[in-house]
Amino acid sequence: MSRVVLPGATIGVLGSGQLGRMFAIAARRMGYRVHTYSPDNDTPTGQVSDVEVQAEYSDLDRVREFARICERCHV
């Protein structure tokens, strides 16, 4: 079963570099909210995101919570 994610939903981005920034800018122009997850703070992607979560990728509890937050935001 496929599901369409409509504008207004939240898209989660793992990573925070320049490519993520370009993606986030395009997504926001299309009407999506963007949350970023990265071990770094004040990142290129985070600067244009609605929410920037700073945590290690190896912190699987935080990664799961990040995914749950993004899922709740577009249901």
CATH for 67? 3.40.50.20
Considering the entire predicted model, what is its pTM? 0.88
Domain residues for the domain of 66 are: 10-72
- For the chain, how many helices (H) and strands (E)? 2, 3
Cβ atoms within 10 Å of 52's Cβ, excluding its own = 20
The string of pLDDT tens digits covering residues 17-51 is: 999 999 999 999 999 999 999 999 999 999 999 99
Would 22 be classed as within a structural domain?
Answer: yes
Indicate whether 1 belongs to any domain: no
Q: Which residues of 8-41 are buried (b: 16+ CB within 10 A; e: fewer)?
A: ebbbbbebbeeebbebbeebbeeebbbbbbbeee
Residues in the chain: 75
| Count of structural domains within the chain | 1
**47-75 confidence digits (pLDDT tens):** 999 999 999 999 999 999 999 998 776 54
Q: 45 lies in a domain? A: yes
